[in-house]
């Protein structure tokens, strides 16, 4: 499996298989939303679109990054979301980097959205599908965010080699990233002190997350890889 690692502005073609990585925090938060019972996460194009979707479907739950805002129910924080009961709910998520990255590859034949909490399930799906090439979309910092790059490289290694990749150096890199520092020091709004630790919980969840266009919306759903040994 050939892996290429691209920032959002570097996406000039439509990849076949894309893994969109946002560790801090969009795809850690989305995984927690599924763990709390959410049925699907709609990745919104804009804050206005998120609000318009909710206006048409009042039962939907809106979530944005940054500070809380009128019309939005939740912020992009795993610590602040993990006690929320989302059973059967549709969450509409809009963030600065993560959701933008997935929308940038919406025409790919397979789009997985990933972070450390779903790393092994994501790698396992890739092993099962065994594509010739995987495009990792490193969403933060125009492709240079250390937490996203570390996670993307780790998943790529696991997809190739199964158990032989030691996670520790990758988690250390992510923990030393600028994003982690900003979350620890409260520079990022809509955050809690436990966010960094929650974003670094390797394989916290057994499912992966796949996004696809449904009725013109980009919809993220959890996918549980078949319990098969690595290819």
Ligand X SMILES: O=C(O)[C@H](CS(=O)(=O)O)OP(=O)(O)O
- Binder of residue 62, out of ligand X, Mg ion, none (CB less than 5 to 8 A by kind): none
The Cα–Cα gap between 26 and 97 comes to 8
Residue in the block written with tokens 């795809």: 27
Residues 119-148 within binding reach of Mg ion (CB under 5 A): 140
Binding mask 87-106 for Mg ion (x = CB under 5 A): ----------x---------
Binding mask 15-54 for Mg ion (x = CB under 5 A): -------x-x------------------------------
The Cα–Cα gap between 131 and 122 comes to 13
Three-state SS sequence of 49-100: HHHHHHHHCCCCEEEECCCCCCCCCEECCHHHHCCCCCCCCEEEEECCCHHH
Which residue lies nearer to ligand X by CB, 96 or 128?
Answer: 96
Residue 81 binds ligand X (CB under 6 A) = no
The Cα–Cα gap between 46 and 111 comes to 20
Residue 147 binds ligand X (CB under 6 A) = no
Phi-psi map region of 37: left, alpha, beta (phi>0 left; psi -120 to 50 alpha): left
Residue 26 binds ligand X (CB under 6 A) = yes
For ligand X (CB under 6 A), the number of binding residues is 12
For binding to Mg ion (CB under 5 A), which residues are involved?
22, 24, 97, 140
Q: Which positions lie near ligand X, rule CB under 6 A?
A: 22, 24-26, 65, 76, 95-98, 140, 188
């Amino acid at each position: 499996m050939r892996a290429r690692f691209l920032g959002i502005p570097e996406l000039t073609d439509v990849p076949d298989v894309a893994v969109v990585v946002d560790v801090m925090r969009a795809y850690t938060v989305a995984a927690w939303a599924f763990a709390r019972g959410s049925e699907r996460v709609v990745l919104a194009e804009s804050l206005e679109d998120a609000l318009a979707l909710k206006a048409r479907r009042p039962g939907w739950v809106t979530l944005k990054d940054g500070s809380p805002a009128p019309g939005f129910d939740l912020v992009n924080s795993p610590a602040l979301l993990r006690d929320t009961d989302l059973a059967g709910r549709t969450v509409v998520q809009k963030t600065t980097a993560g959701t933008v990255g997935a929308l940038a590859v919406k025409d790919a034949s397979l789009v997985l959205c990933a972070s450390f909490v779903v790393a092994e399930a994501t790698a396992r799906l890739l092993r099962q599908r065994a594509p010739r090439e995987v495009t990792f979309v490193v969403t933060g910092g125009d492709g240079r965010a250390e937490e996203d790059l570390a996670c993307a490289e780790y998943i790529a290694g696991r997809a190739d080699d199964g158990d032989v990749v030691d996670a520790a150096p990758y988690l250390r890199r992510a923990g030393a990233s600028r994003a982690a520092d900003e979350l620890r020091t409260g520079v990022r709004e809509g955050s809690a002190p436990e966010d960094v630790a929650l974003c670094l919980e390797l394989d916290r969840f057994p499912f992966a997350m796949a996004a696809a266009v449904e009725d013109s919306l980009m919809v993220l759903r959890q996918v549980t890889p078949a319990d098969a040994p690595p290819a």
